[in-house]
Chain A
Amino acid sequence: MKLSRGPFIPIVCAVAILVAPFTGLLPDYWVTLFNYIGISSLVAIGLVLLTGVGGMTSFGQAAFVGFGAYTTGALTVHYGVSPWLTLPASLAVTMIAAGLIGAVTVRLSGHYLPLGTIAWGIAFFYLFGNINWLGAHDGLPGIPPLRIGTHALIHPSEYFVVVWVAVVLAVIATQNLLGGRIGRAIRALRRSTRAAEAFGVNTAAAKLMVFVYAAMLAGLAGWLYAHFQRSVSPGPFGISAGTEYLLMAVLGGAGRVYGAILGAAGITVLRDQLQNFLPWLVGNTGNFEAIAFGAVLVLILQFASNGLWPILFGPPPPPSPPTPRGNAHLPDRPLPAPGTPLLQAQDARKAFGGLVAVNDVSFEVESGRIIGLIGPNGAGKSTTFNLITGVLPLTSGRIQFEGHALQAQTPQRAAALGLGRTFQHVEIVADMSVIENVALGAHLRGSAGLVRSILDLDRAEEALLFANAQRQLDRVGLADVAFKPAGTLALGQLRLVEVARALCLNPVLLLLDEPAAGLRVGEKKALARLLREVRAEGISVLLVEHDMDFVMSLADRLVVLDFGTRIAEGVPAAIRQDPVVLEAYLGGVS
């Protein structure tokens, strides 16, 4: 594994891990505590990715720890398999279990997902406790320790090395994953599923991928736990433990990988100190640890719901994309000759119950043209956009794009065909930098998957994607804010970010939904200039716009909608004079 991203920190960590436990400065008690912190960190890192980044909350991670622990427990105790050989088995079992559970749960929206995880989290706890083969409620004792040659890794200091090497590897893998192409897609999921889908991200698959990845980290933690504890019982795999892991991720700062370690350390030490300190303070009756633990949890949520890491260390650093070597470019899509028919809508119709939003509308777009789609509010312009880009299915009629029928269209397929779009209500990932938002547009132009990202083998491709994103930002005039968080930009700038992102797709047809709304005069002029430039390159533009000066000066042809029906079509000069259009906009002269 190459440590190109921030090689310094992992190396320092590695030295600390290999030396610290053997110096004798740390008592064994604390080394043991650190081992538990490390094991919990693995689970919490998975949760950071799942919850903080991907927006999926799981109370059930402890069950996956259980899968990892019980797999190695059963294989070593019942069949005498060597502990090192059970590691792949533990990971595989967890992966399969997470794949099956995830297939059912990750597509749930909103709060149903956490509720679902609570339910199966409890179910697995009782399952572990009732299978005799797994020792039922008493668990499996006598799990062998890890061995190197004949030497058993029993002493906490030796195990410390194993645990923390695993943690460091997990941190590197997770950082690599988040920085790469799949990582951007995952980070977009939580804030804007619509944008992610419009640029070709298969959201269900991406969510499942994160879910399985987080579960496998938990499975690894389970394997480490089993061989450190050398026995497993259902207790640590229930819903309370699952909540505790989630709390670690939230305490550290959901969304921050190092925060997970901080959170794991905070919670583990806190619980340990409460166990030591409270009986001494208040005598030995009652379960004060639980009372205090719950109270601390509530207080954290009330006073630091964004977690400790952002408070201590501020916002995340901007990304440092690699620079491309030589003159390498992303291959461009061949564009059709100007004037060839590109998009045909024939009697396209969309009805929402009794309301016909788009009523048998027909129009054509040829390549290398700017077509304006105008009409009063509620005319059905945005719905037409959504029909073309596959967000909504047609009720009847047909839409063809370069000969492909778009009937059973998904946003992802539309993106693959070269339809790049912007949104009427800006769809931007606010906590990601501007350039990463734009690079999301090039999602389909890269191919690096999860494994390539994790192993850091995606650098050359990433360099090309970012170079392209930078070029598009230059074109829209936002080069100087490329590395700012997108959330800090003004609305007009965000619209331009969306245009740059759509251009990053290397589109055949650009669909712009009110791109000039919120722009200042100078910005509008720059945008008009850009669109003319784009047209000159052979890209078509379908433009929904309310700013008549803007659209009239740009468009080759206008299509006018009113109450879902096409009422006029023609060159701007003719539309200006059209009595039907004037009546629709200004009301009839009776």
Chain B
Amino acid sequence: MDATIFLFLLQDGIINGAVYALVAIATVLVFAVTRVILVPQGEFVAFTALTIAALENGNMPSTPWLLLALGCLAAASELVRHFRELTVRRVTRIVLFDLALPIALLLLTRTLAPMKLGQVSNILLAIALITPMGPMIYRIAFEPIAHSSVLVLLMAAFGVHFSLMGLGLLFFGPEGTGTAPLSSASFSLGDLVVTGQSVAVLIVTALLLVLFALFFGRTLLGKALRACSSNRVGARLVGIPTSAAGQIAFALAALLGAVSGVLVGPLMTVFYDSGFLIGLKAFVAAILGGLVSYPLTVLAALGVGFAEALFSFWASNFKEVLVFTLIIPVLAWRSVYAPHAEEAE
């Protein structure tokens, strides 16, 4: 391997790693606030890319229908669970958020899609369609069992993942697509050709990470979420509604997933099930970061991206094997040094 190849792999790795970092941050966030290990996080990524691809071709994407379906399920789930204590406020909220919002977005998409308004509008529309899915999924699948063990929540997450994969095939079909690059500019740095797309990925990721740091460090809402993650009972006692916190965490996760989808669309051909592997690699990074530390997670995600690039150069067949095996030495290290603890529940 010479320096050019190394630099090329490094660039490739950093760009993939940046996308993993966003997804991994979402995984850590959701786990910290709700103890759910969000296996279906990758689905947000794939669905966003597929939505943008449809909009670029002037087609009506199926995403609003999926959103409406999830909205109906969320509404039904909440109505059944709170049948005896329905208030006007709750019903209004359900109608507005679960039914009116998806229908409004459906009509908007139907109007905008044939107009081919261009990249910015496509991206914003896709993000707007995907983000509400987060809290809806939380309310359908996780809120009723919010107090269960991590294991039960993890299995439920797999259940959601299976269902979303099935829905993805149903709504988006088996074909894969790519999306137009965010910037077609490119320049060379020595031997290395740097594409505008890579620069865009890095800028967007860095920007979002800074925004997140500000959100959690400076705003009341961010601090409330942090309180939930460090002590749920304590947070409830001081008046932070943990259900709302869970919904916000899921909304942020869906938002981060959607942005990752925007970034990843031009880099690869995205299929309805591509999200799973992206999510799992981010998940490897999240575990390497110990599921707690955001900066460590970002570093780990960059490491995973770079390792993946190296492995695909050396032994492309065994790329996935090696990436997932990365976790083993870390776990081994933890198993030697981590103190023995009783099961969390």
Contact = CB atoms under 8 A, between A and B. Distances in A.
B320 interface: yes
Contacts of B343: 55, 109-110, 190
A347 interface: no
A298 B318 contact: no
A123 B320 contact: yes
A146 interface: no
Interface residues of B, number: 49
Contacts of B183: none
Contacts, number: 151
Interface string A281-321: 00001111111111111100110010000000000000000
Contacts of A126: 318, 320-321, 324
Given A115-B37, A126-B321, A243-B155, A109 B166 contact: no
The CB with the most chain A CB atoms within 10 A, among B141, B162, B344, is that of B162
Interface stretch (B127-135, B142-150, B204-212): B142-150
Given A104-B328, A123-B325, A193-B340, A130 B159 contact: no
B325 to A, nearest CB: 5
Nearest to B40: A294
Contact of B166 (A51, A108, A118, A288): A288
Given A286-B170, A291-B170, A112 B155 contact: no
Given A110-B343, A122-B320, A290-B165, A246 B155 contact: yes
A388 to B, nearest CB: 19
Interface in A108-144: 108-112, 114-116, 118-120, 122-124, 126-127, 130
B167 interface: yes
Contacts of A119: 284, 287, 324-325, 327-328, 331
Nearest to B272: A287
A292 B339 CA distance: 41
A296 B163 CA distance: 9
A250 interface: yes
Q: Is the interface of A mostly helix, strand, loop or mixed?
A: helix
B338 interface: yes
Interface residues of A, number: 50
A108 B165 CA distance: 30
A287 B169 contact: yes
Interface in A370-401: none
A57 interface: yes
A123 B162 CA distance: 20
The CB with the most chain A CB atoms within 10 A, among B291, B325, B336, B342, is that of B342
A565 interface: no
A291 B154 contact: no
Contacts of B170: 285-288, 291
Contacts of A301: 145, 148, 152, 155-156, 159
A191 to B, nearest CB: 8
Interface of A: 51, 55, 57, 104-105, 107-112, 114-116, 118-120, 122-124, 126-127, 130, 190, 192-194, 203, 240, 243, 246-247, 250, 285-298, 301-302, 305
Interface of B: 37, 140-141, 144-145, 148, 150-152, 154-156, 158-167, 169-170, 280, 283-284, 287, 291, 317-318, 320-321, 324-325, 327-328, 331-332, 334-336, 338-344
Given A115-B37, A124-B321, A294-B161, 4 more contacts: A104-B331, A109-B339, A246-B155, A292-B163
